[in-house]
C-alpha cells in the first residue's frame, strides 16, 4: 500500500493538467496489465511483473514513457511521430496521450514477461 501512496504523492506534485495525464497513463497501464504491481523505481512510477514492464514520468514539456528497448523496437513505426530513443518515448503535454498505443505496448511487454 505504501507504494500506491508514493505514486499518488508523485502525481500530486504536478499542475492539475499534468496530473490528469499521469492519472490517464496510470489507468491505461493498469488496465493493460491488471496483474502487474505498481512500484516506484528510479524515482518514477512503474509497473512490475517478474521485472519492470514500464515506467512513466512527467517533465516540463512531456510525459516520458519507458517500455524498455523491446517495447520501442516493436512499435517503432507507430512511435515515429514522437521523439523517442532506445528505451523511451516522449508524449508532448500539449497533445492527447495515445492511449491505445500505450495499451498495446504494455500488453506487448506483459507477453514478454510471461
CA–CA dist 59, 104 (Å, integer) = 23
Give residue 1's pLDDT band: very low, low, confident or very high (50, 70, 90): very low
Q: Is the pTM of this model over 0.85?
A: yes
Q: What is the pLDDT of residues 47-104, one digit of tens each?
A: 999 999 999 999 999 999 999 999 999 999 999 999 999 999 999 999 999 999 999 9
Domain map (residue ranges) of the chain: 2-113
Going along the chain, which residue ranges are E strands? 37-41, 44-48, 52-58, 62-66, 83-84, 89-92
DSSP bridge pairs for 63: 58, 91
* CATH class (in words) of the domain with range 2-113: alpha beta
Whole-Å CA distances, 31 to 4, 36, 37, 43, 94: 16, 10, 12, 22, 24
Torsional sign, CA 62, 53, 71, 97: negative
Judge whether residue 8 has pLDDT over 70.
yes
User: Which residues neighbour 74 within 8 Å (Cβ) at sequence distance 6 or greater?
Assistant: 105, 108
Amino acid at each position: 500500500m505504501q507504494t500506491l501512496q508514493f505514486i499518488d504523492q508523485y502525481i500530486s506534485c504536478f499542475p492539475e493538467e499534468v496530473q490528469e495525464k499521469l492519472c490517464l497513463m496510470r489507468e491505461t497501464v493498469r488496465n493493460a496489465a491488471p496483474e502487474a504491481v505498481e512500484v516506484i523505481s528510479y524515482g518514477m512510477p512503474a509497473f512490475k511483473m517478474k521485472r519492470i514492464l514500464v515506467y512513466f514520468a512527467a517533465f516540463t514539456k512531456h510525459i516520458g514513457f519507458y517500455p524498455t528497448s523491446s517495447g520501442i523496437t516493436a512499435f517503432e513505426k507507430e512511435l515515429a511521430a514522437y521523439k523517442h530513443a532506445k528505451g523511451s518515448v516522449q508524449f508532448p503535454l500539449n497533445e492527447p496521450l495515445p492511449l491505445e498505443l500505450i495499451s498495446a505496448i504494455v500488453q506487448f511487454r506483459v507477453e514478454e514477461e510471461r
